[in-house]
Copies of this chain bind each other. A is one copy, B any other.
Amino acid sequence: MRNRVNMIAVGDELLEGRTADTNSGRIQRALGQHAVQVAGIQVVPDTKEAIFQALDRTDVGDIVFLTGGLGSTPDDLTRDMVAQWAGVALPQDDAVRQQLEERWKRLGRKVGVGVQRQCQVPEGMAALENHVGSAPGLVGCLKGRILIMLPGVPSEMEGLLPAVVQWLTDHGHLPEARHTLLWRTGQIAELALVRKLDSIREANPELQWSWWLTDWGVDVRLAVEPDNKLGKAQLAAVEAPVSELLGHLVYSRQMESLPEVVGRMLKAKGLTVSVAESCTGGLIGASLTDQAGSSAYFRGGILAYADHIKNELLGVPEAMLQKNGAVSEPVVRAMAEGAQRQLNTDYALAVSGISGPGGGSDEKPVGTTWVAVATPEDVYTWAYRFPGDRPRNRLLTVAAIVDSLRRSLEFGPGQVPWMADDSWCRT
């Protein structure tokens, strides 16, 4: 049973300012409920010396994650360096070779020379099949460390994580799970959320609080170590009051994304949704279709980036556009009604905003964003003023409109999905 984790991210691209290491964070989130401590992250180049040095800096008993450098190009060294460092052989594994060859045949491709290296498994380690890419994950104990090698491509790495956590658990390498509670909130600023919970925090000193900014809002996490009796009692005692206090701000109590939640609600009620997007250019539709099975509720949408498209495809009157401008309450309302009508859906989401950097004015500064939620009964509109740059404002717009749909589905007919205590980016 270990609780000290060391991360080693291998790859010149991580040191050349091209990409940031996000894998270490993904791994940490996957281990989240277990009481592991990440002692540090080392990002090192694709060189023998650097990988050796990074491995030497880990301690006996550590769980060591290495990500990257498992590809088939000459500069992919991780597999070989780990074997050399541990002084073990690096034979080809027939089962892995077969997996790779079958995979490539399935994809209708010739078996490349890459298979030669990607089916190598250091003695004393086991391979975990990679269903997203080719290089398998490698797990095992060498030199007193629990070593885990994973591909650097995030989607491949994440695809392997469940199997890795399973392996760690099966072999008793993970400590007992920490007791945790989670509230995922939308449309409230981190600081406002922290303040809301001040008194409960002061009254329960045994609890470990953490606040995580996500693509959809802010997560509140509560944790106590498995051996902390008093902490467990406090944890049980605060759950109801915290839920009460946060109320409609909470979109989920589990590790699911906001689009997952909305998709589940729509599916359960047999309802459909469409979008009419201007400034987001398709991001809302993209996030609603992230989920497998989204065709059950997402019908489609109209990207009305140019104003004449708002008129021609969504039926927004020319005069209305001229009088109010494209970023206005009547226009976004007409866009939502247009999508609801054109795509014949129960709900429709519309946004029109100034993402920046240009296009702002004193009256409508950059970040000003009108959103509309058309429901079977009524159309609700709201204006946000987002504080970020162009990419951030577009993401905030998606989070805001999808959460507004979630609230609308939760609150039911006749209820405005925004409330006085929504501190988030209010204009």
Q: Which residues of A pack against B, CB within 8 Å?
A: 7, 12-22, 24-29, 32, 37-45, 50, 54, 57, 71-75, 106-108, 112-114, 131-133, 153, 155, 159, 190-191, 194, 210-214, 219, 275, 277, 279-286, 288-290, 292-295, 298-306, 309, 313, 342-343, 356-358, 365, 367, 385, 387-392, 394, 427
Q: How far is the CA of A175 from the CA of B238 in the complex (A)?
A: 55
Complex contacts, A211 vs chain B, CB 8 Å: 73, 75
Tell me, rounded to whole Å, the shortest Cβ–Cβ distance linking A359 to chain B: 9
- The distance from the CB of A207 to the nearest CB of chain B, in whole angstroms, is 13
Contact sample, A vs B, 26 pairs, CB 8 Å cutoff: A7-B43, A15-B24, A16-B210, A19-B213, A37-B45, A40-B45, A42-B43, A71-B190, A72-B191, A73-B211, A112-B191, A131-B389, A155-B392, A159-B389, A281-B286, A282-B289, A285-B305, A286-B394, A289-B305, A292-B356, A292-B357, A292-B358, A300-B302, A300-B304, A300-B306, A300-B313
Residues of B within 8 A of A367 (CB): 107
Beyond A43-B41, A45-B40, A313-B300, is A18–B213 a contact (Cβ under 8 Å)?
Answer: yes
Across chains A and B, which 9 residue pairs bring their CB atoms closest together, nearest first? Answer: A282-B282, A281-B289, A282-B285, A17-B28, A41-B43, A17-B29, A282-B286, A301-B303, A15-B38
A16-B38, A40-B43, A282-B277 given; A298·B305 CB < 8 A: yes
In the bound complex, what is the Cα–Cα distance between A279 and B295 (angstroms)?
Answer: 10
Taking CB atoms, residues of chain B closer than 8 Å to A17 are 24-29, 32, 212
Q: Which residues of B contact A385 (CB under 8 A)?
A: 107-108
Contact: B73 with A190, CB < 8 Å?
Answer: yes
Complex: A388 Cα to B211 Cα, angstroms: 33
Given contacts A25-B18, A282-B289, contact A427 B43 (CB under 8 A): no
